Chain A
Amino acid sequence: AQSVSQHNHHVILSEAASLELGCNYSYGGTVNLFWYVQYPGQHLQLLLKYFSGDPLVKGIKGFEAEFIKSKFSFNLRKPSVQWSDTAEYFCAVNDYKLSFGAGTTVTVRA
C-alpha cells in the first residue's frame, strides 16, 4: 500500500502569512490524493481532492494543492491564513485503502 510523508510537524504563522505544507507519496501509478483538516474538537473534513485532470486543485476555505507527478508530491497552499485556520492538516492517499500522513499542526497567531 501507498505511504505518505508530510514534511512539517508543526508550523506557526501570523495572520495574513502564506502557508505551504509538503506532502509526498511513496510510488507512482493511479492514486487519489486528499487533504483533510481537523479543527480543534471537530471531525475530519475534506479540504480538497485530486483524482485526475488539472494538477492544480482548488478546495474549500481558499486552499489549493498542486499535484506534481514527477515529484510524487501534493503540496497544500493558502495565500493568506486566518486565525481560524489553526488546525491539524493531514495528507492522504487512496489506492485500496486511505492512508494518512503523520499530520501537520498549524498554529496561526492573531
Chain B
Amino acid sequence: DTEVTQTPKHLVMGMTNKKSLKCEQHMGHRAMYWYKQKAKKPPELMFVYSYEKLSINESVPSRFSPECPNSSLLNLHLHALQPEDSALYLCASSQGAGETTGANVLTFGAGSRLTVL
C-alpha cells in the first residue's frame, strides 16, 4: 500500500462550524505533513509531525489545530475559519523528517478541497 488517503474529498463549512480533515497512511512512515495549496500556487507547509510529535508549525493560525493520534493517522481540526482559508489541503508522509538523506521523499494524498462560506 503506497497511498496517502484523505477524507473528505470536498468540504463546505460556515465560519462558525467545527470540522476535521483526516489523513491515513499505511506505509510505516514516521513523518506526516499538512500543506495548504491555493489555486495556481505551490503547496505551503503548515505542520510537520515526526514520530507522532509536532516538530514544525509554520506560524499557522490557531483556528487550525493538528492532531496525530498514532503513526498512521493525522487530523486537522478546523474552527472559526475565514473565507480566505478556502483551499486544497494536502496531507503527505515520509519515512523520516528533517534528515538530509533519502528518508525524506514525500508521498502526497489527493487532498481535501475546503470551501468556507
Q: Does B45 contact A (CB under 8 A)?
A: yes
Who on chain B is nearest to A101 by CB? Answer: B42
Smallest beta-carbon distance A37→chain B, Å? 11
Across the interface, do B100 and A30 meet the contact criterion of CB distance under 8 Å? Answer: yes
Q: A44-B90, A51-B101, A95-B100 are in contact. Are A100 and B108 (CB under 8 A)?
A: no
Inter-subunit contact B45/A98 (CB<8 Å): yes
- Chain B interface size band reads 20 to 34
Given contacts A43-B111, A99-B45, A102-B41, contact A31 B100 (CB under 8 A): yes
Let me know if B102 and A97 touch, CB within 8 A.
Answer: no
Distance in Å: Cβ of B24 to nearest Cβ of chain A: 14
Given contacts A32-B100, A44-B90, A51-B101, contact A97 B45 (CB under 8 A): yes
Binding site for A on B (CB under 8 A): 33, 40-45, 48, 56, 90, 92, 98, 100-102, 104-111
Listed from nearest, the 5 A-B pairs whose CB atoms lie closest are: A100-B42, A44-B108, A43-B110, A30-B100, A96-B98
